[in-house]
Amino acid sequence: MDRVEEMLGEVRTTFKGGRTRGVEWRKAQLQALLKLLAENEDKIFEALRQDLGKHPVEAYRDEVGVVKKSATNAFRSVEKWMAPQKGRIPLVFFPARGAVVSEPLGVVLIFASWNFPISLALDPVIGAISAGNAVVLKPSDVAPKCSSFLANTIPLYLDPEAIKVVEGGKDISEQLLQLKWDKIFFTGSPQVARLIMSAAAKHLTPVTLELGGKCPTILDTLSNSSDLQVAVKRIAGGKWGPCNGQACIGIDYVLVETQFASVLIELLKKFIKKFYGENLKTLENLARIVNKHHFKRVHNLLKDPNVAATVVYGGSVDEENMVIEPTILLNPPLDAEIMTEEIFGPLLPIITLNNIEESIQFINSRPKPLAIYAFTKNDSLKEKILQETSSGSLTFNDAIVQFLADTLPFGGVGQSGFGRYHGKFSFDTFSHEKAVLHRSFLIELEPRYPPWNDFKMDFVRLAYDFDYVGLVLLLLGLRGLFRRNPRQ
């Protein structure tokens, strides 16, 4: 505990010294981070291979490329983000001017997740640095090679007195949570998020929680064969492509009309074989399950006899190498664990409905998801999904890609989390927007009590209701109405 407190004391001293506030420091750190990525790409690929079995293409797409894009965007934009934003002031206060000034929160604690152990660690760090904060990063010990890489490499590139990396397991996390931070950013499960919130509440520390949930996909009946091929291809990529289903925004299950289910299943089989291989022994381009604990958790979902009976493709497992084949299930029991808990693995339930519009009621009967994906050309259905469901994000005719858009906020709602980041939204998440008002000594109204007659009160009401009336009052210098009463 002493070591953790000493580390916090050092970064807090650095922040109080003002070093992190200047634009030069922020841009220097972002540039150094880009250099870190460029000079250590192969090491990152190897760490991701050892922790999760990620292919280099997947590693670059979901990890290195994401961070590089985010850091480059922040480097180019941080001066604009830092600039005070003009605030419109009511004319009744004329002459006056207002602004919103973004200031850093202070020392922030970032908990990273294991499924994307590089991008989900460094992307929030980019936002915290851009906003001028000092940072303590806690990588996930479930991905030990990536955690070690970050701990050993970051101090060689970034300011070691302002940006620290702390490795460890549950005991270190508990020690960190006992201390007072100016912000806590957490990516992980709702179960751990409850502990984070409970600890943060003791110090009234603001938190951002990036969680998960069962993200549904709605597949409407697409009459055009080409559209259908594209839709199912994107569903297959969105389910198994990102870390073999171990992704908070990955597709959890698919809702489709009963008459369309067989077509969907056959197309999914086709693309699974094309993208990943024919069977367990020939699988490629797929990440493995992260460890034995999670392997058993996902495997246990299939051990329920009522669930196993619904498997229509896949289901094979290799416990030694912690690999589970891409698996499709048709109408597993809705009260089974596979349909009540986030799957976070390569199992894809397909739930059939009589009418695709029933999907809205189905989704609304469950906790709010982090993302909803809907494949349809029906504008009426799109509007109903938009207006009648609630989710962290909503994407039509694709999956996952919203995560890569820096101009869109990424975050959850309800049980899928709260707070948002990416691009300018990351900067805002790690900033306090301070209201600043400048007034002049030139004009002063002096109300005199008592009495205020109705005429005077009417003028005051008008001044608040209509800004231009307030300006006229001030420009004419009608102080006399308030300074004296002719009848006195």
pTM score, two decimals?
0.91
Q: What is residue 486's predicted lDDT score, i.e. its pLDDT? A: 47
Q: What is residue 110's predicted lDDT score, i.e. its pLDDT? A: 98
Q: Give the fold, CATH level 3, of 216-409.
A: Aldehyde Dehydrogenase; Chain A, domain 2 (3.40.309)
Catalytic residues: 210, 248
3-class DSSP state for residue 470? helix
Per-residue pLDDT for the chain (488 aa), expressed as one digit of tens each?
A: 778 899 999 999 999 999 999 999 999 999 999 999 999 999 999 999 999 999 999 999 999 999 999 999 999 999 999 999 998 888 777 788 999 999 999 999 999 999 999 999 999 999 999 999 999 999 999 999 999 999 999 999 999 999 999 999 999 999 999 999 999 999 999 999 999 999 999 999 999 999 988 999 999 999 899 999 999 999 999 999 999 999 999 999 999 999 999 999 999 999 999 999 988 888 888 999 999 999 999 999 999 999 999 999 999 999 999 999 999 999 999 999 999 999 999 999 999 999 999 999 999 999 999 999 999 999 999 999 999 999 999 999 999 999 999 999 999 999 999 999 999 999 999 999 999 999 888 876 655 555 555 556 666 666 666 555 555 555 555 545 555 454 44
| 216-409 shares the fold of 1-211+421-434 | no
Asked if 115 and 290 touch (Cβ cutoff 8 Å), the reply is yes
Q: Cα 284 vs. chain centroid, distance in angstroms?
A: 29
Smallest CA-to-CA distance from 253 within 295, 218, 301 is with 218
421 DSSP assignment: B
Q: What is residue 2's predicted lDDT score, i.e. its pLDDT? A: 79
Q: What is residue 3's predicted lDDT score, i.e. its pLDDT? A: 84
Q: What is residue 446's predicted lDDT score, i.e. its pLDDT? A: 59
Q: Break the chain into its structural domains and give their ranges.
A: 1-211+421-434, 216-409, 455-487
**Distance, CA of 186 to CA of 196 (rounded, Å):** 8
Helical residues (DSSP H) of 83-169, grouped into ranges: 119-130, 144-157
Which amino acid does the sequence have at 186?
A: F
61 DSSP assignment: I
Q: Give the fold, CATH level 3, of 1-211+421-434.
A: Aldehyde Dehydrogenase; Chain A, domain 1 (3.40.605)
Q: Give the side-chain half-sphere CA count within 13 A for 448.
A: 9
Tokens matching residue 244: 């073999």
Beta bridge partners of residue 418, listed in sequence order: 209
Asked if 137 and 166 touch (Cβ cutoff 8 Å), the reply is yes
